[in-house]
Amino acid sequence: MKARAKYQTWIRIRKLLIFLVISVILLIVTLLPINLYLRVLSGFLSLPFIYIAFLLSYSVYQFATFGGNYQSKIHDLIVAKVIWDGEGKILDIGTGNGSLIIKLAKTFPNSVLTGIDYWGENWEYSKAQCQQNAEIEGVNERIHFLKASASELPFNDDEFDIVVSCLTFHEVKDRRDKTEVIKEALRVLKPGGVFVFLDLFMDENIFGDEKELINNIKKHGISELNSSKLAEEIKLPKLLLGKKVLGNAMIFDGRK
Ligand SMILES: C[S@@+](CC[C@H](N)C(=O)[O-])C[C@H]1O[C@@H](n2cnc3c(N)ncnc32)[C@H](O)[C@@H]1O
């Protein structure tokens, strides 16, 4: 049987399991023949855990290929924004299990691609899985996967024709100011090159004021910058539009 690529969703299964297990334990306590006060307390305490476990499970279902397939659809949206002749180099920052970069490799058969990721222990992605996925999809010869941090890219200025990134800048822990991480991504893009960044840019706690963020990026040698809310670009199920899921997601695309 032909092996299938494993992309995983953006929801960590470990995290989901923790909330599920705590919910079940608290619910079991409510059924035990113990002090009524403790049983009621346990019942109340279980409510937020049940809600989060439900939200995480629902998100897994909607993001996965066996459900709504929204993760793949969102990557398709990013690929569609790459208006390009296809000759040259692409960089994907925070490549995860390689889903987006593999789509780009298939769309642009003459391109040479690099996917970087920190692949920290708290994520369920790995370089080995990226390489295996690329091999299964028949594009491994053109994609190079590299462990590096988005905060300090191991590339020269103006090296890539295309730079993309999906839901990664907000995760970068080794730079407090996330605008600096965006500037680092733009540093390695050639003048005239195309960038497409999707992230939780509307979350003020992470990226600060949205207008200020856009002005800051514009000052960084950008000739064109378009911004749009993800929810305006693709119809998403209502629960995915919560602030804790994709409610703050925006796409910045343009040219250096
Ligand atoms: C929500 S996942 C998105 C993965 C992938 N872009 C996708 O759309 O499927 C966030 C990714 O950011 C990566 N990441 C976290 N900190 C990073 C850093 N400092 N440098 C590069 N990647 C990082 C994680 O390993 C993870 O793969």
Mean pLDDT by 10 residues, the chain (256 residues): 90 95 96 94 96 96 97 98 97 98 98 97 94 98 98 98 98 95 97 98 96 92 95 96 94 97
Res 2: pLDDT: 77
**140 and 37 within one domain:** no
Is residue 6 included in any domain, yes or no?
no
**96 and 27 within one domain:** no
Which domain range does residue 48 map to? 13-63
Is residue 4 included in any domain, yes or no?
no
**150 and 58 within one domain:** no
Res 212: pLDDT: 94
Res 180: pLDDT: 96
CATH number at residue 244: 3.40.50.150
Q: How far is the CA of 93 from the centre of ligand 1 (A)?
A: 7
For the chain, the domain total comes to: 2
Res 220: pLDDT: 84
**224 and 120 within one domain:** yes
Q: How far is the CA of 167 from the centre of ligand 1 (A)?
A: 7
Res 224: pLDDT: 96
Alpha carbon nearest to ligand 1 atom 10, residue: 168
Res 244: pLDDT: 87
Is residue 8 included in any domain, yes or no?
no
Res 10: pLDDT: 96
**187 and 117 within one domain:** yes
Which of 117, 145, 169, 182 gets mutated to test ligand 1 (max ligand atoms within 8 A of its CB)? Answer: 117
Q: How far is the CA of 120 from the centre of ligand 1 (A)?
A: 9
**83 and 205 within one domain:** yes
**119 and 49 within one domain:** no
Res 239: pLDDT: 95
The finding on whether 84 has its CB within 6 A of some atom of ligand 1 is no
Q: How many C-beta atoms surround the C-beta of residue 64 within 10 A?
A: 17
User: Angle at which helices 13-31 and 36-63 pack, to 10 degrees?
Assistant: 150
Res 152: pLDDT: 98
